[in-house]
A and B are shown apart, each in its own frame.
Chain A
Amino acid sequence: MGPYIIRRIFWTIVTIWAILTVTYFIAYLVPSDPARLIAGQHASAATLASIRRALGLNRPLWYRYLTFANQFIHGNLGYDYIMRRTVSGQVLQAAPLTFYLALVAVCFELIIGIPIGIVAAVKRYSFVDNLLRFISILGISMPTYWVGSMLLLLIGFKLGWLPLGGVSPAGVILPALSVGITGSAFYARILRSATLETMRMDYVRTARAKGAKESLILFKHTIRNSLIPVVTYLGLDLGALLGGLIVTEYIFNWSGLGFLLNQAIGQDDGSLIMGVTLFSASGIVIMNFVVDLAYAFLDPRVSYS
């Protein structure tokens, strides 16, 4: 167990370092000039040069990279000269909103996905199973942002039941739902095959042979055990989830990380693009690490070799 954890920590750090490096050098290519942003469009070349000196923009690339890496270790993502705020400040302000939205979205994924998966497994190979399967595939075939737009149009606008956007308690529902609809298909399918597998297990057969009620067998023995792969997938899903959130936040004016990223892209704001990417990617890697670790503790079957 010990060596396993150490190895996992080591690779998590390597991965974050790789993300930092790749992100920095890609974002370095974004054509934005902080000096021009500070000084405005009327500034002369001499003024610009003096600002570049003051900001250290005239230093060699490797030096700036190391400086940035050092700042990053200390939790500082630099200063954003377009928004005139620190990058960390903006990211930390947006992150809880994204986290909250993600949480609600996962709930929707499960609320929609689990019943479908169970019904499909119980009614396996029937017309209902096939129909649900088709619907699942249709679910993953629709772009999240389109589902979001249609919810906005139908539920928000035509029916007027929910806010059309912005951060509010009820405003979380539509964006979370659009991610939930497209994401639920995976859970449905995982749960279906896991349930089918569990149903063939000896203890389920024994229970059935003993004459236990079908519903009891289903809920007490089968589903509980089938949920393990669903939980595993929750951890793996983070990256995909964030991808869905980026476009959804944009549609619903939900000012989380995705919204921030869109804003940054729209303004060619290199430091902010880099900051959001770096923060989110590292966050996902760390979350994966935590999920793995929790899994290793909880499930004795995981091998540590």
Chain B
Amino acid sequence: MSLPLANPGPTQADLNEEEIRTPLQTAVRRFLKNKLAVFGLVLVILMVIIAIFAPSLAPMSPYTSYPDGTTMQGLPLNPTWHWLHFFLGTDSSGRDEMSMLLYGTQVSMEVGFMATLITLLIGVAIGLVSGYVGGALDNVLMRITDVVLAFPLFLFVILLRSVVSHPTVATVYEVIGILGWAGIARITRGQTLAARKLEYVESARAVGVRTPNILVKHIFPNIMGPIVVYGTLLIANNILLESALSFLSIGVPDPTVSWGKMINLGLSWYQTDPWLIVWPGIAIALATLGFNLLGDGLSDALNPRAGQ
């Protein structure tokens, strides 16, 4: 899985129009002017809505192997283009592709968001402490981070996931989340180091504001930007990671529907029923694209000079 995290940064520069506004206003304005970013946002909102309302939107049950869902020889049906009746065809089990696609959104969003949340919680905490406290603790934490960063993430996700004998959806995002924190820890530490040197933080320390207070009230708002950008891109990456695990049959357990699993089941049918891999692939690409465009746009909006 290619990590979009080595992202060299936003590229759209638009310095001429810089006016005097609050940073947030400027950011929002910038963001809304970026059509691709808005498109990304729309995609993301759409995916979240589909995930929430999948049970109402799905024309049929995604878990049921319908007796009329296969041909007389028990083979998949072609798309019927009839909403209430196997709109996009069926898989080899006689399940409705359309309904499976809609339900698949749920797993993608759940794993995408939850794994990212876990990663951010661990990574930001370590980065904040390391950067703010400094000294020996910083040294130890960063050495550990370096070691973890050197672990090939996908390999270890596979390894850890393959030893869990009763996996749930939570297993998948926990495994991804627990192993992926090193990158954001590094970024947070860097940002914290920089923020610590800001005048008002130093003066807050001088007047004896307590450390947790400084961290939450002064440092954290300063490092929010990169974390949000990183988090958004990470969601895209985690969606890909989940689908890849499910594709390798070590993702979410049965009977949970997942796009990766759909491609895996459809793969051997590419000669007679190619849409079995086409539909879920498009779904994954759209979901990931949404978060990537959004993250990219946020990055531009929050930090217009990066990449120049």
Q: Does a CB–CB distance below 8 Å link A and B in the complex? A: yes
Chain A residues 248 to 267 lying within 8 A of chain B, measured CB to CB, are 250-251, 261-262, 265-266
- Contact between B270 and A192 (Cβ–Cβ < 8 Å)? no
CB pair A146 B281 closer than 8 Å: yes
A31 touches B292 (CB 8 A): no
Known A-B contacts A11-B143, A134-B36, A242-B154; the reply to A150 vs B2 at CB < 8 A is no
Q: Which of A13-21, A39-47, A82-90 contacts B (4 or more CB under 8 A)?
A: A13-21
Q: Mark B233-263, 1 if CB is under 8 A from A, else 0.
A: 0001000100110011110000000001001
Contact pick for B270, options A19, A149, A285, CB 8 Å: A149
Q: How far is the CB of B270 from chain A (nearest CB, A)?
A: 5
Residues of B within 8 A of A251 (CB): 267
Q: Is the interface of B mostly helix, strand, loop or mixed?
A: helix
Bound: A142/B213 CA distance, A = 42
A266 surroundings in chain B (CB, below 8 A):
249
Given contacts A31-B165, A239-B154, contact A141 B285 (CB under 8 A): yes
Closest to B148 in A: A18
A140 lies within 8 A of B2 (CB): yes
Closest partner residue, chain B, to A283 (CB atom): B152
Residues of B near A250 (CB, < 8 A) are: 248
B-chain residues with CB within 8 Å of residue A152 when the two chains form the complex: 270
B207 contacts the other chain (Cβ, under 8 Å)? no
- Which residue from A185, A186, A197, A243 sits with its C-beta under 8 Å from B155? A243
Which residues of chain B have C-beta atoms less than 8 A from A146's C-beta?
263, 277, 280-281, 284-285
Partner of B12, one of A18, A125, A233: A125
A141 and B289: CB pair below 8 A? yes
Closest Cβ–Cβ distance, residue B175 to chain A (whole Å): 10
Tally of B interface residues using CB under 8 Å: 55
- Within 8 Å CB of B292, what residues of A? 137, 140-141
On chain A, the number of residues with a Cβ less than 8 Å from chain B's Cβ atoms is: 69
Asked if residues B147 and A242 are in contact (CB atoms below 8 Å), the reply is no
User: CA A265 – CA B154 in complex, angstroms?
Assistant: 14
Which of A186, A196, A288 counts the most B-chain CB atoms under 10 A from its CB?
A186
With A141-B289, A143-B260, A146-B281 given, is the CB distance from A273 to B267 under 8 Å?
no
> Complex: how many Å from CA A182 to CA B292?
14
**Distance between Cα atoms of A142 and B293 in the complex (Å):** 13
Asked whether A11 lies within 8 Å of B146 as measured between CB atoms, the reply is yes
Closest to A120 in B: B11
Contact B2–A182 (Cβ < 8 Å) = yes
**Per-residue A-contact encoding for B26-48, CB less than 8 Å = 1, 0 else:** 00000000001000000000000
Contact B263 A240 (CB under 8 A): no
Contact residue among A15, A268, A277 (Cβ-Cβ distance under 8 Å from B147): A15
B162 within 8 A of A: yes
**CB nearest to A189 among chain B residues:** B8
Whether, in the assembled complex, A27 has its beta carbon less than 8 Å from a beta carbon of chain B, the answer is yes
Please name all residues of chain B whose beta carbon is closer than 8 Å to the beta carbon of A183 when the two chains form the complex.
2
User: Chain A, 186-198, contact with B by CB distance < 8 Å: what is the 0/1 string?
Assistant: 1001101110110
CB-CB under 8 A for A189 and B11, given A265-B162, A288-B150: yes
Interface centre among B163, B289, B292, by most chain A C-beta atoms within 10 angstroms, is: B163
Quick one: which of B264-283 are within 8 Å of A by CB? 267, 270-271, 274, 277-278, 280-281
Neighbouring B residues of A149 by C-beta, 8 Å? 263, 267, 270, 277, 281
B159 contacts partner chain A, Cβ-Cβ < 8 Å: yes
Contacts of B8 in A (CB 8 A): 186, 189-190, 192-194, 229
Flag whether A281 is at the interface (Cβ < 8 A): yes
Flag if A280 contacts B152 (CB, 8 Å). yes
With a cutoff of 8 Å between Cβ atoms, the chain B residues found around residue A189 in the complex are 7-8, 11
CB distance from B109 to the nearest CB of A (A): 15
Are A247 and B6 interface neighbours, CB within 8 A?
A: no
Query: B160 — which chain A residues lie within 8 A by C-beta?
Result: 26
Task: Pick from B2, B249, B277, B289: contact of A153, CB below 8 A.
Answer: B277
Check if B36 sits within 8 Å of A143, measured CB to CB.
Answer: no
Can you name 6 A-B residue pairings with CB atoms under 8 Å?
A11-B147, A140-B288, A143-B281, A145-B263, A273-B158, A281-B156
Closest CB pairs A-B (n = 7): A243-B154, A141-B288, A146-B281, A239-B152, A141-B289, A29-B163, A243-B1
Known: A140-B292, A182-B2. 8 other contacts (CB 8 A): A140-B2, A144-B2, A186-B4, A186-B6, A193-B9, A239-B153, A243-B152, A273-B162
